[in-house]
Amino acid sequence: MRLEGATCILTGAAGGIGSALAKNLAAAGVRLILAGRHSETLEGLSADLSPGSILESCAGDLTDGLVQESLCHAARRGGATILINLCGCNAFGLLQEQDPEDVQRLITTNLTAPIQLTQKLLPHLLEQPVAMIVNVGSTFGALGYPGYAVYSASKFGLRGFSEALARELADGPVNVVYVSPRATRTSMNPAAVSALNAELGNAEDEPEIVAAAIVSAMRRRARRTGIGWPEKFFSGLNQLVPAVVDRALSRQLPTIKRFAVKQSQ
Ligand SMILES: NC(=O)c1ccc[n+]([C@@H]2O[C@H](COP(=O)([O-])OP(=O)(O)OC[C@H]3O[C@@H](n4cnc5c(N)ncnc54)[C@H](OP(=O)(O)O)[C@@H]3O)[C@@H](O)[C@H]2O)c1
């Protein structure tokens, strides 16, 4: 899809991947409607971007239907043709130790809110000659990983939503693009996650690498894009022979549990 001159809503804009993506898109000539929870961080990001690339900043919690509505109003005002559902949160830890409210918040933020925002904006996108919805998932949306049961559930859901919606919209102007990064060096990952990744030899990408991969997927209108080897291989293997991945992960389990268990216990 041609990005130059397009208007794009970017949720999670002030986060690690979001700010790198905003810079990449602004440099490509995209006009941005930035969404995040805090107006100060959105203003800070806007100050770093080329003048004229920011149409609006919308601050608010995207799990709130009214915030979703006001973002859709901004999208219609600005003639947006691209929605990037990037906003998300994570909670690394064992399920039995997690607060039920955190479980609910994670599912609402990572899965329900992107679906609701997409549904609200879809009538507007369907009126455009060409439009795009980009959903940012995770490697753990194709490979359930210990310590990430709820996060994996949310990203499996987002992947299923993206695939079904892409097929549902295949005869119209709206392209659906799903991108699944592997571990990325942002504040989403607490020190325990980075230490676990280091011990297991799991790579962590810089957010700029992920941003470039998302922009490339958008230009190619790629329905599915995974980022990084061997994560792409293991995601595919998990679809074909999950028992092999079960065995590999059971060998890692004592290490994962050492980092995932609550430190106070
Ligand atoms: N980092 C990784 O290892 C990794 C790997 C694979 C996939 N991903 C995915 O990539 C996306 C971006 O992650 P990131 O690493 O850039 O994380 P991040 O730095 O923590 O950024 C997350 C962004 O989401 C926003 N957000 C969270 N809850 C929200 C809510 N209820 N309403 C509105 N905005 C909300 C945050 O807003 P505030 O600025 O207001 O806090 C923040 O800007 C997420 O979907 C994540 O699941 C990340």
- Quick: pLDDT tens for 178-207: 999 999 999 999 999 999 999 999 999 999
**What's the pLDDT at 50?**
85
**What's the pLDDT at 51?**
80
Q: Whose CA is nearest to atom 5 of ligand 1?
A: 183
3-state secondary structure the chain: CCCCCCEEEECCCCCHHHHHHHHHHHHCCCEEEEEECCHHHHHHHHHHCCCCCEEEEEECCCCCHHHHHHHHHHHHHHCCCEEEECCCCCCCCCHHHCCHHHHHHHHHHHHHHHHHHHHHHHHHHHCCCCEEEEEECCHHHCCCCCCCHHHHHHHHHHHHHHHHHHHHCCCCCEEEEEEECCCECCCCCCHHHHHHHHHHCCCCECHHHHHHHHHHHHHHCCCEEECCCCHHHHHHHHHHCHHHHHHHHHHHHHHHHHHHCCCCC
What residue ranges of the chain have pLDDT lower than 50? 265
Answer left, alpha or beta for residue 5, where phi above 0 means left and psi between -120 and 50 means alpha: left
- Of 113, 95, 110, 253, the C-alpha closest to 188 is 110
**What's the pLDDT at 264?**
56
Q: Whose CA is nearest to atom 21 of ligand 1?
A: 15
- Count of beta carbons in the 10 Å neighbourhood of residue 129: 6
Q: Please check whether residue 177 is in contact with residue 218, taking contact to mean a CB–CB distance below 8 angstroms.
A: yes
Whether 145 sits among the annotated catalytic residues: the reply is no
- Distance of CA 15 from the midpoint of ligand 1 (Å): 6
140-143 own/partner pairs: CB under 8 Å, 24+ apart = 141/180, 142/180, 142/226, 142/235, 142/238, 142/239, 143/231, 143/234, 143/235, 143/238, 143/245
The one catalytic residue in 145, 148, 151, 178 is 151
Q: Whose CA is nearest to atom 45 of ligand 1?
A: 88
Q: Whose CA is nearest to atom 46 of ligand 1?
A: 88
Q: What CATH number was assigned to the domain covering residues 7-260?
A: 3.40.50.720
**What's the pLDDT at 86?**
98
Q: Please check whether residue 81 is in contact with residue 245, taking contact to mean a CB–CB distance below 8 angstroms.
A: no
- Distance of CA 171 from the midpoint of ligand 1 (Å): 31
Pocket around ligand 1 at a 6 A CB cut-off: 12, 14-18, 36-38, 41, 61-63, 86-89, 109, 136, 138, 181, 183-184, 186-189
